[in-house]
Amino acid sequence: MEKVFLKNGAKIIYEYRTGNITSFCIGFNSGALVENGNQKGLAHAVEHMLFKGTIKRNENDINKLCDEVFGFNNAMTNYPYAIYYGTSLSQDFEEAFELYSDIVLNPVFPKEGFIEEINIIKEELKEWKDDISQLCEDELFYNAFSTRRIKELIIGDEKSISNFTPEDIINFYKQHYLPNNCVITVVSSLPFHIVKKTVCMYFDNWNADINIEIKSTDYELNKPGIFSDKHKGIKGAKIQYLFPIDKLSNRELKALSLFNVVFGEGSSSLLFDEVRTKKGLAYEVFSSIKNEYGIKLFSIFVGTSYENIQITIETINNAINKAITSLNLDRQQIEKLAKSLKLRKELKLEKSIELCKALATYEIMYDSCELLFEEINDLEGISEEEIINVAKKVLKDPTIQVISA
């Protein structure tokens, strides 16, 4: 892997991988976390508006060329970042990269079509709320916290979206789409000097009048308790637990990752065995770690029937208590858990575009793309005591969200 800085502060990260395709990602620390209080959803709206036209291309030109040079391309706004990414044949890398560099560096934000794009975002908001699992998580975040940005949707709400003006889009772009706020990742079999030359051709002379200062994100304790909401049209019920993990060290996060494998990942996990196998309360049940900057949560998710809500919560609580008090892991078992984690990481990063996205987002969030690989190093050295201690530290005083008809 190669990492270099351009003279304007932008970063290039290159990873060699054999094959005939090249993937790249252009990322910015310009997600929802950097929005001001009255700007909910503005980061996401800027992402949309970037594709409306540049100095030399209109929206139709952009769409047509994207179909011609990319096998896959997209953009995404999360709480900690906004990323623009795609995969092309290596022979088309320069053409594909030029197109995306034009989109992020030379937008004109035309007023024509602005209202139409805002309406598209409102339609996206409706679809977002139609996803019951997503709705459960959104309600969970909203009820768990008082001030954190994650209590509100990334996309914003209908009121905030309706209030955006073209000037809001332009001002946000000027404030956050800056060289020292940009990471460019490329995964390819093309030699590094060719990749670097191509990136420098379009980004080296990109200058800005200001350099952004990255502000820190404040975390807060969750509000413990059970929160219930009813929504028409839902069949069954969704239950989700939330536990903050922002106080954990990197080693504790490794221990929690090992715990999560045995507790809530896969059909042999304790959670699956207690909730589904033994009691038949749910088809889908799992736990997960959201370690993204500004989020940092351990979650449990279950889908069940309305009449089984209470017994399902009791069963999950019993599973948590069982894991904390009677989990027995010898060295051989820990090594198996570590092997499973490494395999899942490798499978996730097998696609070059996924590796590209991960390298960019880790560099944006932690100023260290190397952490992506360091997370699975030395897992075998974590002790049973460390695993149990971190479980005890995390799995207490949950916020529980229930969504039902």
pLDDT exceeds 80 at position 217: no
Residues 306/237, Cβ–Cβ less than 8 Å:
yes
Query: Quick check: is 232 in a domain?
Result: yes
Residue 274 lies in a domain: yes
- Mean pLDDT within 336-351: 93
Which pLDDT band holds residue 298 (cuts at 50, 70, 90)? very high
- Cα(264)–Cα(273) distance, rounded to whole angstroms? 9
Same domain, 135 and 268: no
Query: Among 127-131, 133-137, 200-204, 373-377, which is the least confidently predicted range?
Result: 127-131
pLDDT value of position 126: 87
Kindly state the average pLDDT of the residues 73-77: 96
Cβ neighbours of residue 249 closer than 8 Å, sequence gap 6 or more:
none
What is the per-residue pLDDT for 173?
A: 95
In order of 13, 294, 365, the CA distances from 370 in angstroms are 10, 19, 12
Instruction: Report the number of distinct structural domains present in the chain.
Output: 2
Burial of residue 376 (CB within 10 Å: 0-12, 13-18, 19+) is middle
Which range of residues forms the domain containing residue 15? Answer: 2-203
Could you give the residue ranges of the DSSP H alpha helices within 131-218? 132-144, 158-163, 166-176, 192-203
The mean-pLDDT minimum among 16-25, 57-66, 126-135 falls in 126-135
How much of the chain, in percent, has pLDDT values that exceed 90? Answer: 87
What pLDDT was estimated at residue 128? Answer: 84
SS3 349: coil
Q: Is 29 helix (H, G, I), strand (E, B) or coil?
A: coil
Given this model, what pLDDT does residue 212 score? Answer: 64
Integer Cα distance of 321 and 234 in angstroms = 30
Mean pLDDT of the chain: 93
**CATH code, domain carrying 120:** 3.30.830.10
Helix (H) or strand (E) holding 336: helix 331-348
The answer to whether the CB of 22 falls within 8 A of the CB of 187 is yes
Q: 401 — phi, psi (to 5°)?
A: -110, 130
In a domain, 208, yes or no: no
> DSSP character for 112?
T
pLDDT of residue 209 exceeding 80, the answer is no
- Of the pLDDT bands very low, low, confident and very high (cuts 50, 70, 90), residue 42 is very high
10, 156: one domain: yes
For 124, residues 6+ apart whose C-beta sits below 8 A from its C-beta are: 155
Q: Are residues 198 and 303 in the same domain?
A: no
What pLDDT is recorded for position 211?
A: 61
pLDDT over 70 (residue 214): no
Q: Is 378 exposed, middle or buried (0-12, 13-18, 19+ CB in 10 A)?
A: exposed
